[in-house]
Each structure stands twice: as structure tokens, then as C-alpha cells.
Chain A
Amino acid sequence: MEQQVFFRSQSVVSRIVAGETLIVPIRGRVGDLASIYSFNGTGSLIWQMLESPRTVVELVEAVAQEFDVERARAEKDVKRFVREMIAVCLVEVSTFVAAGTEGPVGREGLAAAGAR
């Protein structure tokens, strides 16, 4: 997971309704169209950050700082949350390769992610 960047799927949109962040699938074959997804405070923060492509490290740093929790705990929570979102296609993933060793796939992935 450390070698990947994550970003919001273009097939969902988020709405704030009655003070709650809701994720609504809008295109076919995304998640479960009969379901609505909502987040708690941590989830809302991660979702906001994923408006731009992010690494797990960036997400963990933000959660640890915002909610004043140990980094290990934040990392566990962030990874579980991101896996859940990938499973229902709310979040997409692209491979990130360390600077200096990136190949075409890594560059294209980042470019695609950045364009979103």
C-alpha cells in the first residue's frame, strides 16, 4: 500500500446532507447503487483529502495530527478504511514508484491520478 496513490472514483460524488457526508454512486457498475455510504469524522477527513491523489503516508500523517492519535493506530485505521473504499469502488488506486526509479507505469498512473 505504501507504493500506491489513492484518489476518489469519478463514479461517485459526495454530498453533505443534514450535516452528514454521504457518498452517492452515480455511474453504473459502481459499488452497490442501492446503498448509501456515510463517514464518521476520520472518514470525512480522508475523503476530503482524496480529492487529490494521496499516499497512505500522507493520509496517516493528517489523521494522526488532526485527531491526536499515535501514528501506528492511525495507520491501521487509514489502511482499513482505504481497503473498504476500494472494495466498493469508491476509491481508485494507482501504483507509485519511488523517485528516480519510476517507470512508465508509475508516471502514467500519477499523471492520470493528477488529472482527476
Chain B
Amino acid sequence: MDQLSYGAFSADLHQRQAGTRSPMQVSIEVTRRCPLACLHCYNNLPMGDMDARRREMSKEEHFQLLDELAEMGTFWLLYTGGEVFARKDFLEIYTYAKKKGFLITLFTNGTIITEEIADYLAEWPPFAIEITLYGRTRETYEALTAVPGSYDRCLRGIRLLQERGLPLKLKTVATSVNKHEVLAMKHFAEEELGVEFKTDGQINPRIDCSQSPLAVRLAPEEVVALDLHSPKEVSEYRRLAKRDAENPPNLAENESVYFCGGGMNSFAINAYGEMGICVISQQETFSIRGVEVKQVWDGYLQELRTRKRTRITKCIECRIQSLCGMCPANGELENGDRESPVSFLCNVAHLRAAVIGAEIPAHGDCEFCVGGSEHEALLESARRIASKEIDVESWAGPQQVLPILNNPSVGVGACGSCGH
């Protein structure tokens, strides 16, 4: 009998599966309803949204899905929302999945975790449970979640899980509302609780086409200042930039629109029983209701995953792709077109490269490269980050939050894909 550490097992399995199309990882959205109303969220719906609730997959449909995923060889499952515990039957679905032998990660905001739920999870432990923390003070947390009392409930959830030794990780989404507390959140997680912490500065428009989350998105300079505040991140970005420089993109190999693991070794099922490339790529999804999951994976999703790009964009020949968050799903959400470069992400990537001193070879008509309309501004931003004019440690809280919400220029949909 071989006893393998999880890390060794995972690395070995991924290596053995490399190049084969097999759905090893599946993300399942059990609901989009959530007790919080976070300003930055891409899919949340009110808890009382009865139409959403009616459309959600039933418990029995989830059981059937899990039976089929086990047959297909899926090993890693992610349960996400909305808020997974918003569904009263979630633990039944979860237990069914546990008994099937999946390695399960749960994403939750922690605010409706009770002693009973925590005790149950201690008996049937997930592989990992990640709570998103939105602030280190009640004022900031609730300015983002828009729900009074949610900060205390989140801390209670964290405490309940930690008391039971569950594999807890914390994370945050850095926004203009909570950016000044990111370092305090990191300290709380790593030093006070002794758990892993990560920060994500990427915010997308909503999947219902609303651009409202962009109102609280950090400026590109702030995203870069934040992720380069960590020496570990700087080192990783340097390694990636070096790898990109040494392995220039090959146009012949880049014929598909998609270049990620979505549709190759993973896929997502949304709350309404539709399969997509990932949870944020919802422009084209395929119902699994009444049909075999494998049939959808082998048919519709494979066709989508292997679809050829229609044109050469500046992204295709870009050699700092590893520094960039651009993917077809982001193109979909921000521009209504999978192939259309997202200017914000392009700005962030070029700024990252400039700050860490990575070379940026010419790659088509790029406004952020030498000679481009935004190049001088980019260099000025890089200078301000390097000189600590933009410094994470000196960030203060927003003067006001409400005017952001009331800004008409960002609260209305401007979607290119559905005309909303």
C-alpha cells in the first residue's frame, strides 16, 4: 500500500493526465442566492429570489450529477455559490458527494455557519474550506457586503470552523472599499489564526451584464502595488516573465479561443444545471437536465473548447501572458466578446512587467507598449509604485462609499453581448 501526501499525489495525477481531455475537476454552483449583497460580486442574488430558487437543480438532480461525475473519473469538486449554505439541503448534497469519494473544496462567506453545520463538517471534513473576508473592521466589511451584522457572523463562522480543526483558508477580494484593510486581514489570518491567506484584485462585471462591480475595482496601479507588496509574488512574477520570454508563443499552437484548463480537465455546472467552461464563462452553456453529463462534455463542450479563434489580437502574440489575467471568460464579461482584449487587464499586466523589469516584446497594436497612446502614463504609474508614492501600507479608507453606489456611469449595464 502506498500512502501519498496530497501534494505528491496531485502532482503525479496531473502529470499522468497531461495532454488528455478528462474532467478531473468540476465546479458546482449550488445556488446564486446569498445572504450578503456584496458590491463587487459577479453573480449574487437575494436570498428571497423565488424565481432563482425554483430554477435551481434539485437535490435529486445533484445526486444524479454526482453519480455521473464519479463514473467520468472526476476527483476534485468545488462547491460554490452564491452562498452554498443558503440551501437548506446543501449538507445532504455534500454528504452524498463525500460518500462518492470526491475531494471537496467549499467556498463560503461563513456568515450562516452554525454550530450544527460546523459539527457536521468536523465529522465529514472537506478537503478545504475557504472563507472570503471582506474587511478587518465591521465598518469596512459591511460597507462592501451591505448587510448589517454580517461581520460578526463571519467571524463567528471562522471561529466555529477553527475550533474544530477544519482545513480553513481565508481570502479577500481587494476593492476600493476595503483596500486599506488588506494587510490587516492578512495579519489576522496568518498571524492570529495561523491559516493561509490570499488576495485577489480581479473583479469582473456581473454575469447578468451589469457593470456595477467595476465601481469598486482597484485602479491598475493599486492592483500592481498590492500584488507586488509581497516578495513572494514578485519572485513568482519574475519567474513567469522569464519563462514567457524563453518560450515565445507559437501561433500555430494557439488556434483555439480557449487556452486554459476549462473544457480540458475541468468544467463548471451552474445553479440551473448548465455546463460551461468555468463559473464566470456563462455566455454559452449547455443544459445537462435530462441528458447524460458525459454526452454534453464530449459533444457541446468539446466543440466550444476547440473552437478556432476568428482573428489575431494583440493577446495572441503577447509574451507576458503569464502576468495577465486575460482569458476568454473575461473578454466575454467585459467586452461581450471572448477574443477582445480587456484593456484593464492589459494595463495591469504591462504595469507588472514594467515594475519587475521584464522585457515586453512588441505584440501588435498595443496601446501600453512603446509608442502606444498609454505607454507614457504606464511608465509614470510604474515610477509611482517603485518610489512608493502608491504604497499599500499608507492606504486610507474611502471617504464615502455611497457616492460610488450612486454613480450612474458605472451602475448601468453596458454589455456588448446581450444588449442590456
Contacts of B414 on A, CB cut-off 8 Å? none
Instruction: Provide the residues of chain A in CB contact with B6, threshold 8 Å.
Output: 34-36
Residues of A within 8 Å of B70, CB to CB, are 15
Residues facing B in A64-110 (CB within 8 A) are 81, 84-85, 88
Of A14, A18, A40, the contact of B17 (CB 8 Å cutoff): A18
Complex-state Cα separation, A32 to B111, whole angstroms: 29
Bound CA span A34–B3, Å: 10
- How far, in whole Å, are A26 and B103 apart by their CA atoms in the complex? 9
Partner of A17, one of B3, B13, B99, B124: B13
State which of B5, B73, B101, B122 has its C-beta within 8 Å of the C-beta of A24: B101
The answer to whether A13 touches B101, judged by C-beta atoms less than 8 angstroms apart, is yes
Query: What are 16 A-B contacts with C-beta separation under 8 Å?
Result: A13-B99, A16-B73, A17-B13, A18-B17, A26-B99, A27-B124, A27-B125, A28-B123, A28-B125, A34-B6, A35-B5, A36-B4, A36-B6, A37-B2, A37-B3, A39-B1
Partner of A32, one of B3, B16, B124: B3
Known A-B contacts: A14-B101, A24-B101, A33-B125. Give 12 more (CB < 8 A). Answer: A13-B100, A17-B73, A17-B75, A18-B13, A22-B75, A28-B125, A33-B167, A34-B5, A35-B5, A35-B6, A36-B4, A43-B1
Determine if A52 is an interface residue (Cβ-Cβ < 8 Å): no
Closest chain A residue to B70 by CB distance?
A15
Q: Which residue of A lies closest to B95 (CB)?
A: A26
CB of B9 closer than 8 Å to a CB of A: yes
- Residues on B close to A: CB < 8 A? 1-6, 9, 13, 16-17, 22, 24, 70, 73, 75, 98-101, 103, 122-125, 127, 167
Contact B13 A24, beta carbon cutoff 8 Å? no
Given the interface contacts A26-B99, A27-B123, A28-B124, does A15 sit within 8 Å of B75 by beta carbon?
yes
Measured CA separation A13–B99 after assembly (Å): 7
By a CB distance below 8 angstroms, the chain B residues around A33 are 125, 127, 167
Closest chain B CB from A39 CB (angstroms): 6
Q: Please indicate the chain B residues that have their CB under 8 angstroms from the CB of A35 in the complex.
A: 3-6
Report the nearest A residue to B98, measured CB to CB: A26
Main secondary structure of the interface of A (DSSP, over half): mixed
| Closest chain A CB from B323 CB (angstroms) | 32
A38 lies within 8 A of chain B by Cβ: yes
**With A18-B16, A27-B123, A27-B124 given, is the CB distance from A81 to B1 under 8 Å?**
yes
Q: CB-nearest residue of chain B relative to A10?
A: B99
Residue from A16, A36, A81, A88 having most chain B Cβ neighbours under 10 A: A36
The winner among B17, B22, B75, B127 for most chain A CB atoms within 10 A is B75
A15 touches B1 (CB 8 A): no
Per-residue interface assignment for chain A, residues 46 to 70, with 1 indicating a CB less than 8 Å from any chain B CB and 0 otherwise = 0000000000000000000000000
Closest chain-A Cβ to B22's Cβ sits at a distance in Å of 8
* Inter-chain contacts of A15 with B (CB < 8 A): 70, 75, 100-101
Could you say which residues of chain A place their CB within 8 Å of the CB of B2?
Answer: 37-40
Q: Which residue of A lies closest to B17 (CB)?
A: A18
Q: Which of B17, B22, B70, B125 has the most CB of A within 10 A?
A: B125
Closest beta carbon of chain B to A86's beta carbon, Å: 11
Contacts of A24 in B (CB 8 A): 101, 103
- Contact assessment for A28 and B122 in the assembled complex, using a CB-CB cutoff below 8 Å: yes
Task: Say yes or no: A88 contacts B125, CB within 8 Å.
Answer: no
Q: Give CA–CA (A32, B9) in the complex, Å.
A: 14
